[in-house]
Amino acid sequence: MNARRIAAYWIVFSVVLALLIAAPLVLPEFWRRFLTEILIWGLLAMSSDILIGYAGMISFGHSAFFGLGIYGAAAALLSVKPPNLWLALLFGVIAAAGVAAFVAYFSTRLRDIYFAITTLIFSQIFYVIIFTWTEVTGGENGLTFSRPPLAVPGLFSVPFTSQTLHWFVLAVVTLSYLVLRRITRSPFGMVLQSIRENEARTRAIGYPIERYKIVAVMLSGLFAGLAGGLYAIQNRFAAPDFVFFLVSGEVIIFNVMGGIGTLVGPIVGAAFFLLLREGFSRFFTEYYLIPVGLIFIAMVIFLPQGLLGFMRRTLNR
Amino acid sequence: MGIEQLVQAIPFDQLLVQTINGIVAGMILALVASGLTLIFGIMDVVNFAHGELFMLGAYVGVIILAATGDFWIALLAASIAIALLGAAIHVTVLRPLLGRDPLTTILATFGISLVLQNYALWQFGPVARKIQEPFTGHFTLFYLEYPWYRLVIALLSAGIIGALWLFLKFGTYGIWIRATTQDRVMAQAMGIPVPRVLTAVFAIGSGMAAASGVLFGPLVGVNHAMGLDWVLKAFIVVVVGGMGNLGGSIAASIFISLLESYASLWVSPAQAVIFSFVVLILTLLFRPTGLFVPTPK
């Protein structure tokens, strides 16, 4: 049974991956970009799933990690000539991980609602700093920059097309997924889950909970920063809006819609949310959040496991 | 720069003006935060939609004021309308979540806040509306013409909070509410209609948010995003004052508002917010139960 299940998992995994690889060949330009965007937001949502789904901590601070990832990549792309893809991603990840370490140090001392509020306030601090520090961050207008070429130093350097960009993003997201999957199944991931289930008991067994939580937040911030770097490369601009806490809220919506604690669920949730937004903005223009918000509330009440959990239950029946 | 120069650099009159400004802002904030802390302390619900109830209250105030021309009727009608809206939200969204992880209420109220905010944008548009203040008298404060209305707001907020306190202390429903806070199961066993009490609490908190929205409306424009700033500040106050502690949140409101208004003597108001963020973080680090709560043993 177990071996069959593992085989089934890898078959589904390869089929989905193959479909995603083939997608840009058949999709028109708009949907190709759309799919790439889903993957990037999915990576961000997946990074916050480590906290929400595994450690049981709702973070309202992911906009800060994501935004710092974008601004970090922007800094690399604007200051280094010629712009370098890998340096941009590296800067984004370092900026986000640094901020995450800072936030984690303070916020992990608190639990539940207090953790959520602290991370929210931290993301607002970074929002205010970025919004008002106009000389460096461009303030409200943000920064624009050009897209670096896809290059391996010493081998080749070609400009991105929307196809190669999609494949590049897909590769990064798939790798991140595999790494995260490995991490959540490692002893470290098990300790996180036991913190979620019963923090006092985990502490009593002798695990230094604070350290585990700090590492979890940093890890989560690191991948959020990677998502930010990818987003910067795709959209070629940085704006303070990405640091605003509403982005964190959307990330949580992705998680809840897709199903927390599943890693794939958040990507499904991101796809579902973005499709809903696309569909509803045809009728409701910029007020699409009214129907989407109502659907979200209904899902919180009636479908707490999210789409993936719901599907799994229906299939098992 | 020596101490004397520093003192000279802060003119005394400006400091006094900022003190008054801070206390006035603090009283409005206290009104918002006491609704929030009431809802949290009694129901374990972190109400993310509180700022939106504040904002919708201000809009209802704008509409009623335009229809009747009387500020006080607008204030009363807005409070009642939003209290009813709060009751409806509680019955439809929060009651099914009773008994689940309190974190799910954050998610649900966040969804509500998105819906309400976008509804306001859709219904009233992005242009800020203005509420005409009920009286326009001024008194001279150094070189400034200081409006009486601001002082009246502070007094009114204090009055409403005082009335809430009396109600909790002596009213039948108030006693039920306090009993529900202490032990929900026991209260139910004694025949207190707990679900109805919870709905009433949410309605009262919403009504208070609406009242502060209408009172604050004349000072700044009314727009769909005004709730965001307030809900953040109210969160800070509620945590700094100690969750569910009415006296603490009033003290924290005034403390934070004073701090921000003094800070805005040196930096822009947008950056002054950072000071209250820092206070929050320091509080969470050293006194996680709140600044104005005796240290738990």
- Which of B102, B122, B236 is facing A113, going by the closest CB pair? B102
> Would you state the pLDDT for residue B297?
42
Taking only the tens place, the pLDDT of each residue in B253-264 is 888 888 888 887
pLDDT over 90 for what percent of chain A?
2
Closest Cα of chain A to B88: distance in Å?
14
Residue B5's pLDDT is 60
Chain A residue at shortest CA distance from B243: A114
Chain A residue with CA closest to B122: the answer is A287
Q: Is the pLDDT of residue A175 over 80?
A: yes
CA nearest to A251 within chain B:
B107
The residue-averaged pLDDT of B195-215 equals 87
Name which of B104, B114, B293 to mutate to probe chain A: the one with the most chain A Cβ atoms within 10 A of its Cβ: B114
Residues of B in contact with A118 (CB under 8 A): 280-281, 284
What is the predicted pLDDT for the residue at B32? 85
- Between A158 and A54, name the one with better pLDDT: A54
Confidence of residue A154 (pLDDT cuts 50, 70, 90): low
For an interface test with B, give the residue of A129, A300, A302 to mutate (most B CBs within 10 A): A300
Predicted local distance difference test score (pLDDT) of residue B4: 60
Stated pTM of the model: 0.84
The distance in angstroms from the start CA to the end CA of chain B is 45
- Say yes or no for a CB contact (<8 Å) between B274 and A120: no
Instruction: Flag the least confident range among A170-179, A180-189, A307-316, B79-88.
Output: A307-316
* Over residues A41-48, mean pLDDT: 90
Percent of chain B with pLDDT over 70: 91
Residues in chain A within 8 Å Cβ distance of B277: 121-122, 124-125, 128
pLDDT at B8: 60
ipTM over 0.85 threshold: no
What pLDDT, in 10s, does the model give residues B16-75? 878 888 888 888 888 888 888 888 877 777 888 888 898 888 888 888 888 887 888 888
How close, in Å, is residue A78 to chain B by CA atoms?
26
Chain B positions touching A106 (Cβ under 8 A) are 281, 284-285
For the ranges A236-240, B42-46, B100-104, the one whose mean pLDDT is highest: A236-240
Assign B84 a pLDDT band (cuts: 50, 70, 90): very high
- Closest-approach residue (CA) in chain B for A304: B104
Q: Is the pLDDT of residue B7 over 60?
A: no
Confidence of residue B1 (pLDDT cuts 50, 70, 90): very low
pLDDT at B13 over 80: no
A116 to chain B, closest Cα gap in Å: 9
In this structure, CATH architecture of domain A2-316: Orthogonal Bundle (1.10)
User: pLDDT value at position A316?
Assistant: 64
Average pLDDT score, chain A:
83
The pLDDT value recorded for residue B256 is 86
Nearest chain A residue to B110 by CA: give it.
Answer: A249
CA distance A147 to A126: 25
Q: Residues A103, A104, A107, A108: what is their CA dihedral angle, to the nearest 10 degrees?
A: 180
Contacts of B117 in chain A (CB under 8 A): 289
Could B104 and A253 be called an inter-chain contact, meaning their C-beta atoms sit closer than 8 Å?
Answer: no
Q: Which of A30-39, A140-149, B152-161, B184-193 is predicted least confidently?
A: A140-149
pLDDT, tens digit, 9 for 90 and up, residues A255-273: 888 888 788 888 888 888 8
Q: Which of A110, A125, A300 sits opposite B288 (nearest CB)?
A: A110
Residue of B96, B51, B89, B78 lying closest to B224 (CA atoms):
B51
Mean predicted confidence (pLDDT) in B171-198: 82
Q: How many Å apart are CA A237 and CA A74, to the nearest integer?
A: 8
DSSP states of B264-288 as a string? TTTS-HHHHHHHHHHHHHHHHHH-T
Q: What is the mean pLDDT of residues A115-125?
A: 84
Q: To probe the interface with B, which of A103, A301, A303, A305 has the most B CB atoms within 10 Å?
A: A301
Domain ranges of chain A: 2-316
A58–B103: do the CB atoms touch at under 8 Å?
Answer: yes
pLDDT band at B294 (very low <50, low <70, confident <90, very high): low
Count of H helices and E strands in chain B?
12, 2
**Does B157 have pLDDT greater than 50?**
yes
Write down the domain spans for chain B: 3-286
Q: Which chain B residue has its CA at the smallest distance from A122's CA?
A: B277
Residue B3 pLDDT exceeds 60: no
Does B295 have pLDDT greater than 60? Answer: no
pLDDT at B151 over 70: yes
| Interface with chain B: mutation pick from A52, A289, A303, A305, highest number of B CBs within 10 Å | A289
- How far apart, in whole angstroms, are the C-alpha atoms of residue A218 and residue A95? 11
**Model confidence pLDDT, tens digit, residues A188-237:** 888 888 888 888 888 888 888 888 888 898 889 999 999 988 888 888 88
Give dist(CA A70, CA A235) in Å, integer.
10
Smallest Cα distance from A108 to chain B, Å? 10
Residues of B whose CB is below 8 A from A120: 232, 235
* Whole-number percent of chain B with pLDDT over 90: 3
SS (H, E, C) chain A: CHHHHHHHHHHHHHHHHHHHHHHHHHCCHHHHHHHHHHHHHHHHHHHHHHHHHHHCCCCCCHHHHHHHHHHHHHHHHHHCCCCCHHHHHHHHHHHHHHHHHHHHHHHCCCCHHHHHHHHHHHHHHHHHHHHHCHHHHCHHHCEECCCCCEEECCCEEECCCHHHHHHHHHHHHHHHHHHHHHHHHCHHHHHHHHHHHCHHHHHHHCCCHHHHHHHHHHHHHHHHHHHHHHHHHHHCEECHHHHCHHHHHHHHHHHHHHCCCCCHHHHHHHHHHHHHHHHHHHHHHHHCHHHHHHHHHHHHHHCCCHHHHHHHHHHHC
Q: What does the DSSP assignment read for B238-271?
A: HHHH-TT-HHHHHHHHHHHHHHHHHHTTTS-HHH
- Rounded to the nearest integer, the mean pLDDT of chain B is 81
Mutate to test the interface with A, among B107, B243, B273 (most CBs of A within 10 A): B107
Instruction: Show residues of chain A in contact with B102, CB under 8 Å.
Output: 112-113
